[in-house]
Structure 1
Amino acid sequence: MIGFMAPQDIADRTTAAVDAAVGAGRDLGLDVTDAAVLHDVFSVVVHLAPAPVVARIPTVLPHYADPDSVARRQRAELDVTRWLADQGTPVIPPSALVPREPVRRGGFSMTFWEFVADDRGREPDYEANSESVADLHAAMRAYPGRLSFLDAAEPRFVTEGLALLDKRPDLLDPDDLDRARREWQVLEPYVQTRAAFEAAFPGIDLQPIHGDSPPANIFAGVDGDRYSDFELVTLGPVEWDLAALGPDLEAAYNRGARRNGQRQLDERVLAFVNGVGMLRAIASLALAPQLPALVDYIGPAVDGWRTMPFAGGMAD
């Protein structure tokens, strides 16, 4: 495929990220002799063994991202997870062996986390995970720090991603792109400002939320489940964290919400976040030259999106 990174280029990117993490870890006083890559998709996640520390290095990023903008988001994630850990919420916390701040090296901005052994024999239970997200939301409500409104929607990413796809009909059919642009004209104002959202959805409270499908980001540790990957932590409606998961998992969340005395999911807000989430997924196709697997991964989602109400029904 023309314009896509070759496998060797991707392997070189991974090697550069690992080398940067190993060098940064050693500079911070960690004993690193057997680094092992644990995950490599949008970020390279590497265990800096034998130190009980994991480095996460974002590597697949929009063209406008730079170490400063990446570090700002990383600081929010570090602050929220450290606070949650201090409250006794089961999260993967920042490593206590290094300063709790992003570290730059080799053109990357990285963070360091406590190593937690995973229970490899256990399959994810997404229904149980979705019910558990209500517990996470209950814990996050009291977070005292400041978070921006719906940063996780990444409106600049959607706008610029759709613009880039105008030149890539091999990635998205022009008719689909036309619909996506028209939907974004309807939906964008409600993710740009809190005032616009609150006017459209009166009575829907906003709070700190995970931001990136927490039922899919619960880590099965040998010592129990841990909430993880708060890279898109933001202020928003709880529905955002259940976007595109379907009625069964929504019902599971509602069971947890009733147990905690919280409000249940609002159907109109769910339709809205599902619409925005789909446009964000479609815009992600603009990253496919950096991560070719996205083409096959997002294709089925685009098929499903064609059957959804236009702009989540917000244009009615």
Structure 2
Amino acid sequence: MYDAQMPTSSLTPADLQARTARAVTAAVNAGLALGLKAAQPKVLHDVFSVVVHLAPAPVVVRVPVVLPPGLDASRQTARQARELAVVSWLDSHGLPVVRPSPLVPCEPVQRDGFSMTFWEFVEVDPSRTPDYVAEAALAARLHAVLRGYPGELPFLSPLAATLPTCLALLEENPGLLPPADIERARGEWALLSPLLSTREGFAAKFPQVSVQPIHGDAPSYNVLRTAEGVRYADFEDVTLGPVEWDLSFLGPQGAAVYDAAAAQVGVRALDPAALRVVDAARMLQMVVCHALVPQLPMLAEGLAPSLQAWRDTPFAGGLA
């Protein structure tokens, strides 16, 4: 896979442009091989993934290009297959989602060193303004449906599968973060990992908090707003875990909105203690994402406010 070997120095603008061009070419070639018309490809998004509309076909290809360390080809394919399976199941149960494209097989496609997935093209309504706090209610509705998903999912994979490898990469590559930050991050993960690395460890600390299939990456943010309404999207991190993980960083107002919506759809209310733990873990996750800066240099500037906020908070969010 393209990024199997992590760069040790930051990619240049020319490197990034070349990577995007390779991803677009791979998406077009894969689409053509599957019988799609893709004469006018258009890049819709280019950050962690290159997202390409294979116009005039009503198909969008998501090509991940910035990958966490340790995510080899087989794990990447398994992750994408889980996403496709969950979204297909949600669609069959009436949830408004951005669906896998019905024009190609519902499976990851490998081409030119990339692994990609194919989705239906959805027209976004630019006049619809996001309100992430108010839209915390969307997470409750999603959780109500996801509870019934019968497939197997790993426990908190966005955290447990990537945070230790990112932390190790930071330790191996001095300069991405100051030593004091790395030392603090290591200490926080030592405190949090027994609680969040396994389902058994979480249950031992929070026996009163149920776990279930969850979106894995802030569902009130990862939606597309269309003229017909909201579509849930981007289930790359779908996982088993406490619903609190999907509500991190939304604050007391977001939690109140979620709890009100949860009561209406029969989902349990948020547990304040569990929410504090996942908030601390999410903050730590943002910090160790600096390990990805060589692959995506613009990430350093984007992470700067979170890094400073983390430095200004007590160790592990005051949990110690």
1:311: how far off?
A: 2.5
Identity of aligned residues (%): 51
Counterpart residue number, 1:3: 9
Is 1:217 matched up with 2:222? yes
Which residue is equivalent to 1:30?
36
Report whether the alignment pairs 1:51 with 2:57.
yes
Q: Which amino acid aligns with 2:262?
A: A
Distance in 2, Cα, partners of 1:156 & 1:263: 27
Q: How many residues align?
A: 313
User: What TM-score results when the alignment is normalised by the length of structure 2?
Assistant: 0.94
Gaps of 5+ in 1: none
**From 24, 32, 46, the counterpart of 1:40:** 46
Distance 1:120 1:239, change over 3 A: same
Q: Report SS of the residue matched to 1:24.
A: helix
Q: Distance in 2 between matches of 1:268 and 1:71?
A: 35
SS of the residue corresponding to residue 166 of structure 1 reads helix
**2:149 aligns to what?**
143
Assess if the C-alpha contact under 8 Å between 1:208 and 1:234 holds in 2. yes
After superposition, what is the alpha-carbon deviation per residue over 1:132-155, rounded to whole angstroms, capped at 9, x for unaligned? 2100100111111111111121x3
State the distance in 2 between where 1:261 and 1:100 align.
31
- Is the contact made by 2:27 and 2:61 (CA closer than 8 Å) also made in structure 1? yes
Of the three residues 106, 113, 123, the one matched with 1:107 is 113
Are positions 1:95 and 2:101 aligned together?
yes
Contact 1:151 1:234 in 2 (8 A): yes
Structure 1 residues 156 and 227: alpha-carbon distance in aligned structure 2, compared to 1, 3 A threshold: closer
AA aligned to 2:11 is: M
> 1:306 — aligned with what?
311
The CA deviation string for residues 218-259 of structure 1, in whole angstroms up to 9 with x for no partner, is 111222110000000000000000112222222211121122
Residue 126 of structure 1: SS of its match in structure 2?
coil
Give the alignment of 1:1-316 within 5 angstroms.
3-153=9-159, 155-315=160-320
Q: Deviations over 1:36-92 (max 9, x none)?
A: 000010001000111101000100012322221111000100000000001110100
3-state SS, counterpart of residue 47 of structure 1: strand
Distance 2:99 2:123 in 1: 13
Alignment check: 8 A CA contact 1:180 1:279 kept: yes
CA distance in 1, matches of 2:235, 2:162: 18
Q: Helix, strand or coil: the match of 1:215?
A: coil
Letter in 2 for 1:165: L
**1:314 CA drift (Å):** 4.2
- The change in CA–CA distance for 1:242 and 1:124 in structure 2 (over 3 A counts) is same
Query: Letter of the aligned partner of 1:252 in structure 2?
Result: V
Aligned to 2:4: none
Maintained 8 Å contact 1:67/1:104: no
Cα distance in 2 for partners of 1:63, 1:3 equals: 15
Distance in 2 between the 1:151 and 1:240 partners?
11
**What are the superposed Cα offsets for residues 277-296 of structure 1, whole Å, 9 maximum, x if unpaired?**
11211111011011011111
Q: Single out whichever of 192-201 and 164-173 deviates more from structure 2.
A: 164-173
CA contact (8 A) 1:161 1:286 kept: yes
Q: Superposition RMSD on alpha carbons, in Å? A: 1.4
Tell me the distance in 2 between the aligned counterparts of 1:31 and 1:73.
27
Looking at structure 1, the residues matched to 318 and 268 of structure 2 have their Cα atoms a distance apart, in angstroms, of 22
Residue type matched to 1:152 in 2?
A: P
Contact kept in structure 1, 2:144 and 2:266, CA below 8 Å:
no
Secondary structure at the aligned position of 1:239 is classed as helix
SS of aligned partner of 1:180: helix
SS across alignment from 1:127 = coil
